[in-house]
């Protein structure tokens, strides 16, 4: 039985690998739509990048709904310093022929989820959580109607990647994240502690390139460019392939051996810790658990899954 899936995203190459891997696993996933939000780059570029990647894969049948162009209450912060001006720097893909689907992404999310039986639609959230918070505001029953939301974001003990305390996706729209974490939805959080273990490496990218397809060649270049920032920042071979962890968790939960249901809150007030995910790993607060937090990953199993699936497209 396939899992109905919405991927909410701000496409850099990591994000695109996520929804392309879903398309390469049709026996597991029915990708209902890609919904875009401003984050890594502004909304017009995240939407264009989603369309480019789907067109490259020959899957223009997948609708792309554009969503929020800014966070709920704050000015937009972007990350061109990591992803390049377009968010897809590293390979010059042609502008897409396909256009975004008609409609606003949060409204499309509500329609897609609520028109299906309860507990049958999963969202992979790879970006600031603005679209999802707006969808929940439009339909208060959405949180309990979803099967689950798998979120790439936050950090436990790894520290932040945009401030000492905060990971980028949560930092860009902490108010949206706070709403999602208090919504009552079934949440899984994959923080930097986990994703920083899941690195591309030069050898793994060569394995992808060796698949010999146009898509593999394109993503070899996109990911090689995209991971230069982390290579220089951390001194690593390659960089973390963050976002597809959400999808591979659904495919291979055995690759994530150290998860725990705990309480997660999001800081929205302090300027020093704005966007921090306060993860009560040892349950010292007595607050009820609201998320499953994944801390470790079998990086080789993860990357092999990604490479093998992308090689099918």
Active site residues: 242
The whole-angstrom separation of Cα 95 and Cα 302 is: 31
The whole-angstrom separation of Cα 42 and Cα 172 is: 12
Question: What does the DSSP 8-state code read for residue 72?
Answer: S
The whole-angstrom separation of Cα 278 and Cα 108 is: 31
The whole-angstrom separation of Cα 265 and Cα 182 is: 8
CA atoms within 13 A on the CB side of 130: 28
Closest CA to 299 of 198, 207, 229, 176: 198
The whole-angstrom separation of Cα 109 and Cα 6 is: 8
Sign, Cα dihedral of 209, 210, 212, 213: negative
Q: Can you give the three-state secondary structure of 18-48, one letter per residue?
A: HHHHHHCCCCCEEEEEEEECCCCCCHHHHHH
Token pair 């929940």 in the structure block, residue: 136
The string of DSSP codes covering 123-161 is EEE-S-SHHHHHHHHH-TTHHHHSSEEEEE---SSS--S
């Amino acid at each position: 039985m396939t899992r109905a899936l919405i991927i909410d995203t701000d496409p850099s190459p990591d994000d695109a690998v996520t929804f392309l891997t879903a398309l390469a696993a049709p026996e597991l996933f029915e990708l209902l739509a890609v919904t875009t939000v401003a984050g890594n780059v502004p909304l017009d570029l995240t939407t264009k990048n989603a369309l480019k990647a789907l067109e490259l894969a020959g899957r223009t049948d997948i609708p792309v709904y554009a969503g929020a162009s800014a966070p709920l209450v704050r000015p937009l912060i972007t990350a061109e310093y990591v992803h390049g001006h377009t968010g897809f720097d590293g390979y010059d893909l042609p502008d897409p022929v396909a256009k975004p689907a008609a409609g606003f992404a949060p409204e499309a999310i509500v329609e897609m989820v609520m028109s299906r039986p309860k507990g049958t639609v999963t969202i992979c959230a790879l970006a600031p959580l603005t679209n999802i918070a707006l969808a929940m505001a439009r339909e208060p029953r959405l949180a309990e109607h979803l099967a689950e939301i798998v979120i790439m974001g936050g950090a436990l003990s790894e520290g932040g990647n945009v401030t000492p305390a905060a990971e980028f996706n949560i930092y860009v729209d902490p108010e949206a994240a706070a709403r999602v974490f208090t919504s009552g939805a079934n949440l899984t959080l994959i923080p930097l502690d986990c994703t920083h273990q899941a690195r591309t490496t030069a050898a793994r990218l060569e394995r992808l390139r060796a698949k010999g397809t146009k898509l593999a060649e394109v993503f070899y270049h996109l990911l090689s460019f995209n991971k230069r920032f982390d290579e220089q920042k951390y001194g690593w071979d390659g960089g973390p392939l963050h976002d597809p962890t959400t999808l591979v968790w659904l495919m291979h939960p055995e690759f994530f051996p150290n998860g725990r249901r705990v309480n997660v809150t999001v800081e929205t007030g302090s300027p020093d810790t704005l966007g921090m995910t306060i993860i009560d790993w040892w349950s010292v607060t007595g607050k009820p658990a609201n998320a499953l937090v994944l801390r470790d990953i079998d990086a080789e199993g993860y990357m092999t899954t990604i490479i093998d699936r992308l090689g099918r497209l």
